[in-house]
Chain A
Amino acid sequence: MKTYTTNLINWLDKRYNIKEIIGFITEKKVPIYKHTIWYYMGGITLLFFIIQVLTGILLLLYYRPTPEEAFESVQFIMTQVHYGWLIRSIHSWSANLMILFAFIHMFSVLLLKSYRPPRELTWVTGVLLMYISLAFGFTGYLLPWNELSFFATKVGTDIAGVIPFIGKFIIRFLRGGEDVTGATLTRLFGFHVAVLPGVIIVILVIHLLMVQRQGMSKPIGLKEVKKGMLFFPDFFLRDLLGWLFAVGILAALAAIFPWELGQKADPFSSAPEGIAPEWYFLFMFQTLKFFPARILILDGEVIAVFIFAALGIFWILIPFLDTKARREQKSPIFTTIGIFAILYVGIITILSYFVFK
């Protein structure tokens, strides 16, 4: 057995020079200090992504993206297909956990300033992955064609209309017409299962290659971390243990709290009470409500949408704007921004559930 493996490695090495890569991986080290725990968050996000791909493919076997059949096909999955309720519940729970861990991963990177040189592009690709994940969430939300998601999609796509000049085009592009109809469902389904997966996989691979090539960042002021562990197998095995733990939590949540389906959407009924997007859009949704209908001569929404767009671009550019961290100095301004963002998103999200409802 051993000789077969060595033979195979030699065969590949002659052609692709893979011993260089193997050597690189076996020597790679992960620093050990009090913040090492945060290095696992990206890996857990990756695990949930893999689960999304697998359960998504399974759901595709039965799901039908038309307004006549979408709700019924999900109902069929949940009531007739063996373990269908479980697969769908895992897909929904894992989607939410993936976003949650992506947030934790992102904010830990932000507070540890791991985005400073030479890892600026790792941050940029990471933020893009986050935005694509949100797009996954938005497009997937409509697919069961229930009341909540129908109106949330109406609101979500209508917001694009406030963009000057091209707003109307964007609405038509997203909805496949003037209104949210079967055309919208087919379109968002296409984005969800074809366009977004294609885009995310490319950026994800780049992101992971960058992380592997450069290794883990050490925080500012911790130039000399004395202890380190080998990435392979020490860190890798710990990663796996974390994955096992995460899968356990996911399975428990999916089984104990199966994801609900709700009422079938009816385009000719009034919006029911309690219309809300997924929790990770709630802080934006709620902020939109805080804005008055008009500010001076502009619509309140226009201003809110522009502020969010500006913040979205600012977020991508953080590694280039944080000049202190670039010089390996403490950068309290960006720490404050990070903590403020965590508090704002956290508090508004929780309040949306308990107070603003």
Chain B
Amino acid sequence: MEERNTSRKSFINYLLGGGFTLVAASFLYPIVRFVLPPKSTEAEPMAVSAGKVGEMHLNSGKIFKFGRKPGLLIYTEQGEYQAFMATCTHLDCIVQFRNDSESIWCACHNGYYDLNGNNISGPPPRPLERLNVFIKDDDIMVSKIT
């Protein structure tokens, strides 16, 4: 008799506890999903115009919009165009071209990359992501390397 009672009691407890947990979970799940933002549906651009031919000086760089992210276009001393995603691989700052040292520099934590985007000093752990550059009419076009 006694045993039957305790097993019935624990059954009821499990039922209550389980029910409570389920209710709590059914409240929490939509809240957690709500708090995390939806993934952006905006597609990454195939190719964008980063500028016009002839508007940049030799040995200079500029930031352009590559979709929602910043890109860096460099016109080297040798007259070549180079493009990279401008997001520093260290902690997400936006890098800049330095014409005094002919390198790419991140001001946040003093990281340097060479003109091929390779991390050469400071904290950046990886090279910058390189982009394709091609000229179409008088636009300097930039696209992802696939």
Contacts and interface: CB of A to CB of B under 8 A. Distances in A.
Interface string B7-51: 000000000000000000000000000011100100000000000
Interface in A261-294: 267-275, 288-289, 291-294
A169 B63 contact: no
Interface residues of B, number: 30
Contacts of A178: 40
B107 interface: yes
Contacts of B109: 155, 288-289
Nearest to B89: A293
A267 B92 CA distance: 11
Interface in B80-136: 86, 88, 90-96, 106-110, 119, 122-125
A72 interface: no
A218 interface: no
A183 B93 contact: no
Contacts of B72: 270
Nearest to A299: B125
Contact of A151 (B65, B69, B93, B124): B93
B123 A154 contact: no
B80 to A, nearest CB: 21
B125 A294 contact: yes
Nearest to B119: A293
Contacts of A300: 123, 125
B124 A275 contact: no
A289 to B, nearest CB: 6
Given A169-B36, A178-B40, A268-B65, A159 B123 contact: no
Contact of A177 (B35, B37, B65, B108): B37
Contacts of B86: 270
A179 B107 contact: no
A177 B37 CA distance: 6
B36 A173 contact: yes
A300 B123 CA distance: 8
Identify the interface centre among B37, B108, B109: most chain A CB within 10 Å of its CB: B108
A158 interface: yes
Contact of A271 (B35, B40, B108): B108
A272 B70 CA distance: 15
A43 to B, nearest CB: 37
Contacts of B108: 151, 155, 271, 275
Interface in A115-154: 151, 154
A268 B125 contact: no
Contacts of A172: 36-37
B77 to A, nearest CB: 20
B4 interface: no
A178 B70 CA distance: 13
A176 interface: yes
Contacts of B93: 151, 154-155, 271, 275
Given A169-B36, A176-B37, A178-B40, A270 B69 contact: no
A289 B86 CA distance: 21
B94 A274 contact: no
Contacts of A177: 37, 40
Given A169-B36, A271-B108, A293-B122, 16 more contacts: A155-B108, A155-B109, A157-B92, A177-B40, A179-B68, A268-B64, A268-B65, A269-B63, A270-B72, A270-B107, A271-B93, A271-B96, A271-B106, A271-B107, A274-B107, A275-B93
The 4 closest A-B pairs by CB, nearest first: A270-B96, A158-B92, A271-B93, A155-B91
